[in-house]
Amino acid sequence: MKSRRAISLRAHHLPWNSAGNLADNDLTADDVVRETGWVFNNETGDELTLKAFVETGDKEVQRYIRLLQLESFQFENSTLLEIGSGIGRMTSSFTNRCNAVIAADVDSAFLERCRQTVARYGRIDRLSTLHVANGKTLGREDKSVDMTFSYITLQHCQPQDALALVSEAIRVTRSGGLIVLNFRTWVVSDIVLVPLGIAVRRLWKLPVLGRRLARWRWSTRLGWQANRLKPDTVLQQFESQLREIKIIHSIKRKLAVAASQDNTAQTVPTNRINPSHWWLVAQVS
């Protein structure tokens, strides 16, 4: 399988570029999961299969619907846009729940594999794909979806690109629709991890050696998290466009949100969320 991809050569895109090159080869679906699946769910092993990979996504979709208090959302009547679909780990579950799903990713080879995954484990008739070639613009009309969802994707973008994608998520979501976006914020270990990540991303820019490093798991784990965004950073820019804002975070840590304007965000501590992560769940005004 071959496809054309137009990916920016920014350093933080190189692991996806490398994984996409593998997905672009004539590997079986199970082999693609064994070679690249850890990029999406950090699981490794020679016994991994696409079926098991998709099952982890289905379980996470179920868990986050509960943890993020989305049970009342009418998925069956809705169009959902997923930013960072990858090869379809969670996308298949969304197509089984939603009226229509738009899978968006920076790598078109992943999107082709996503279509294959959904054809086997989801509803391919409900799926369309969207190539985010520049990593920050969603080629959709204004107010054209009911929910925009993103999980462990925005943290891998440069801060300005992540914020641009938040803006795009709000733009394409209808008034009264939901944005459900996952972010990474600062934790104590970042005192070490952030400088190491910067160093690794610089190494990725080296000719020949850089692309080889970007395929190694230890290197990717250190270098792929390109930003840490606090809730206040996001809300200062977008709060006026949102209502019924919830900041959902791990019960294991405190995550303060400064009061601003009249639309003060509600913080919701809960279990089974990574202490370094937080979610923005809000209606578009």
Per-residue pLDDT band at 274 (split at 50, 70, 90): very high
| Contact yes or no for 30/48 (Cβ under 8 A) | yes
CA angle 249-251-256, nearest 5°? 55
Dihedral sign computed on CA atoms, order 36, 40, 45, 47: negative
Per-residue pLDDT band at 6 (split at 50, 70, 90): very low
Mean pLDDT across 29-58: 68
Tens-digit pLDDT profile for residues 85-111: 999 999 999 999 999 999 999 989 899
pTM: 0.83
| Contact yes or no for 113/23 (Cβ under 8 A) | yes
Per-residue pLDDT band at 191 (split at 50, 70, 90): confident
How large a percentage of the chain has pLDDT more than 70?
75
- Average predicted confidence (pLDDT) for the chain: 84
Tens-digit pLDDT profile for residues 205-238: 778 777 666 666 656 666 666 688 999 999 999 9
Beta bridge partners of 282: 179
Q: Tell me what pLDDT residue 206 has.
A: 77
Tens-digit pLDDT profile for residues 149-187: 999 999 989 899 999 999 999 999 999 999 999 999 987
Q: Which residue has the higher pLDDT, 28 or 282?
A: 282
Q: Tell me what pLDDT residue 153 has.
A: 94
Q: Tell me what pLDDT residue 9 has.
A: 47
Q: Can you give the residue ranges of every domain in the chain?
A: 11-188+228-284, 189-227
Quick one: fold of 11-188+228-284? Rossmann fold (3.40.50)
| Contact yes or no for 33/48 (Cβ under 8 A) | yes
- Where b means 16+ CB within 10 Å and e means fewer, 175-214 reads eebbbbbbbbbeeeebeebeeebeebbeebeeeeebbebb
